[in-house]
Amino acid sequence: MIRYLYGDQLAKYPRLARTMFEDRADQFKTRLEWEVTVDAQGQERDAYDDLNPLYAIWETAAGAHGGSMRFLPTTGRTMVNEHFLDLTGGVAFQSPLIWECTRFCLSRHSEPGMAAALMLAGGEIMQGFGVKHFVGVFDARMVRIYNRIGAAPEVLGTKGEGRQSISVGLWEFSEAAQKRVSRVAGIPLQVSRGWFAASFGDVVPQQGVNAA
Amino acid sequence: MGFLEKVPQLDDVIARLECAEHLEELQTIIEWLRDHYAVDDMVYHWVSSNGTQYGCGTYDPKWVARYLEKGYLRIDPVVIGCYQRFHPVDWKRLDWSGKAARAFMKDAMAHGVGHQGYSIPIRGPNGQFALFTMSHSCDDDQWNSFTELNRRDLILLAHYFNQTALMLEPGRKPEPTQPLSPREVETMTLLAVGYSRAQVAETLAISEHTLRVYIESARFKLGAMNTTHAVARAMARGQIVV
């Protein structure tokens, strides 16, 4: 299932949080050889994790991390504005309706459909919160996966070679793409909506309650 | 809604917001906004990391006094549920299950606060936190339609409102708005001379999708509600020359 957690809520899910930061170390340091910082516990964190971002996390049946991504509004500090302006045509995106999406990560043991499930979560965030655009920083080789899922980003630019190539791209919401991604993920839209609702407070049906 | 001509236009409200020189003027502006959106109440509530509060809005002053006197800041589910967040929150999604929260809600409603609410959290510099809230009495369907229709404008307004409040508060500064980048200046210039979006995209050799994000970003940096408004403001500020 997908869980949506802000940084300050991770402490309630210690196993999920630990395995997320471990899987990030495994993906970004070990496999992609990016210049990221891994601490003594084998966890990868950066300065943006300190800004209390929102994470969308795939939690496996065993309660471990399967995949995740991280969101921050571009009204505050963002990785793309601080490190990747050379890939955006020099445009520092800034709006409460544009969120940054970074550290898209899949565990080595990720199950089929998990990447699609995370993209589905991105769509829920856009729909649920009125966000119009995501600007993402991702491993350039992810583009193939995004295309296969049916959620292709508009790639603005790419730098670096091979495993270290990094791209910046844009997503916006479309009903059609959301349906496509839902099929690829094998997760009905209602189920995805349900996970979102569970994380952000379920709306209790008000029938008969509205005496006023 | 038979008096539309009396309802202030959003562009005017924004202009007024930009010219405001005293915190008291925010009160007039928020009353305008309340009338514009035809909701029962609209409230701006700023809480600093050191616990100081500032607010303006249309709640009954008796309720505001009671809120302060009772120290409701510590039990208000809206404040608790929005603190450290950056997504807009419908009050129905908050946790009202605790005894203190239920008593608080009862007291609020007794003071005329509507049972529907939508709050937009804003993260400012140095741990500044503010909430921009609409509250109303209507059924869930009506409220959902209202928030669905207006939420993006309200999110922008909330941020513009907070920027003004920060500017007027002694010793505070809003997070500096990033300047328009050369690409954004080109975009706004071409729109100003009457190019269609398709023509602008073609001229800049970018997709219309990318163009939409440029425009979205420029709109916020210019403190505008829509593209036309953004172009006008860019010209008025001398950021583009046509």
Of B139, B152, B184, the CB nearest to A97: B152
Which residue is closest to A72 within chain B, CA to CA?
Answer: B86
- Given this model, what pLDDT does residue B167 score? 86
pLDDT (mean) for B24-49: 92
- Any residues with CB less than 8 A from the CB of B53 and at least 6 apart, and which? B45, B46, B47, B68, B73
Q: B190-206, pLDDT tens digit by residue?
A: 999 999 999 999 999 99
Residues 32-71 of B with CB under 8 A from A: none
Q: What angle do CA A92, A85, A34 make, to 5 degrees?
A: 130
User: Cβ of B178 and A73 within 8 Å?
Assistant: no
3-state secondary structure (DSSP) of residue A152: coil
3-state secondary structure (DSSP) of residue A104: strand
Q: Which residues of B touch A132 (CB under 8 A)?
A: 152, 212, 216
pLDDT (mean) for B13-19: 86
What residues does each domain of chain A span? 2-199
Q: Does B140 touch chain A (CB under 8 A)?
A: yes
Strand partners, A70: A55, A102
**At residue A205, does pLDDT exceed 60?**
no
Q: Which residues of A touch B177 (CB under 8 A)?
A: 94
Query: Distance between CA atoms of A128 and A32, rounded to whole angstroms?
Result: 33
The string of DSSP codes covering B42-64 is EEEEEE-TTS-EEEEESS-HHHH
Of B95, B137, B217, the CB nearest to A95: B217
pLDDT (mean) for A58-83: 96
Mutate to test the interface with B, among A54, A74, A88, A97 (most CBs of B within 10 A): A97
**Residue A134 vs residues A46, A119, A140, A148: alpha-carbon distances, Å:** 20, 11, 16, 19
B152: distance to nearest CA of chain A, Å?
6
Q: Are strands A65-73 and A2-6 parallel, antiparallel or unpaired?
A: unpaired
Q: Which of A138, A120, A136 is nearest to A128 (CA)?
A: A120
**At residue B189, does pLDDT exceed 90?**
yes
Q: How many CB atoms lie within 10 A of CB B105?
A: 17
Q: Does A112 touch chain B (CB under 8 A)?
A: no
Q: A156-199, pLDDT tens digit by residue?
A: 999 999 888 999 999 999 999 999 999 999 999 999 999 999 99
Strand partners, A166: A139, A159
Q: Residue B15 — very low, low, confident or very high, per pLDDT cuts 50/70/90?
A: confident
Token digits for A153? 């980003």
Which residue is closest to A94 within chain B, CA to CA?
Answer: B217
Q: Residue B8 — very low, low, confident or very high, per pLDDT cuts 50/70/90?
A: low
Of A91, A98, A210, the CB nearest to B181: A91
User: Cβ of A6 and B178 within 8 Å?
Assistant: no
Which residue is closest to B92 within chain A, CA to CA?
Answer: A203
Q: How far is CA A180 from the centre of its chain?
A: 18
Token digits for B144? 């959902």
3-state secondary structure (DSSP) of residue A143: helix
User: Cβ of B216 and A98 within 8 Å?
Assistant: yes
What residue type is assigned to position A61 of the chain? A
Q: Does B199 touch chain A (CB under 8 A)?
A: no
**At residue B55, does pLDDT exceed 80?**
yes
User: Cβ of B152 and A73 within 8 Å?
Assistant: no
Supply the mean pLDDT for chain B. 90
User: Cβ of A201 and B151 within 8 Å?
Assistant: no
A208: distance to nearest CA of chain B, Å?
11
Class of domain A2-199: alpha beta
Q: B139-182, pLDDT tens digit by residue?
A: 999 999 999 999 999 999 999 999 999 888 777 777 666 789 99
- Given this model, what pLDDT does residue B2 score? 42
Give chain B's length. 242
**At residue A146, does pLDDT exceed 70?**
yes
User: Cβ of B213 and A54 within 8 Å?
Assistant: no
- Given this model, what pLDDT does residue A201 score? 86
Kindly state the greatest CA–CA separation across chain B.
Answer: 61
3-state secondary structure (DSSP) of residue A80: helix
Q: Residue B7 — very low, low, confident or very high, per pLDDT cuts 50/70/90?
A: low
**At residue B42, does pLDDT exceed 90?**
yes
Q: A8-41, pLDDT tens digit by residue?
A: 999 999 999 999 999 999 999 999 999 999 999 9
Q: Does B153 touch chain A (CB under 8 A)?
A: no
pLDDT (mean) for A81-95: 95
- Given this model, what pLDDT does residue A110 score? 85
What residue type is assigned to position B186 of the chain? E
- Given this model, what pLDDT does residue B50 score? 74
Q: Does A91 touch chain B (CB under 8 A)?
A: yes
Query: Distance between CA atoms of B40 and B115, rounded to whole angstroms?
Result: 10
Query: Distance between CA atoms of B180 and B168, rounded to whole angstroms?
Result: 24
Q: B99-116, pLDDT tens digit by residue?
A: 999 999 999 999 999 999
A30: distance to nearest CA of chain B, Å?
32
B89: distance to nearest CA of chain A, Å?
8
User: Cβ of A89 and B216 within 8 Å?
Assistant: no
Domains (range + CATH), chain B: 4-168 (3.30.450.80), 182-236 (1.10.10.10)
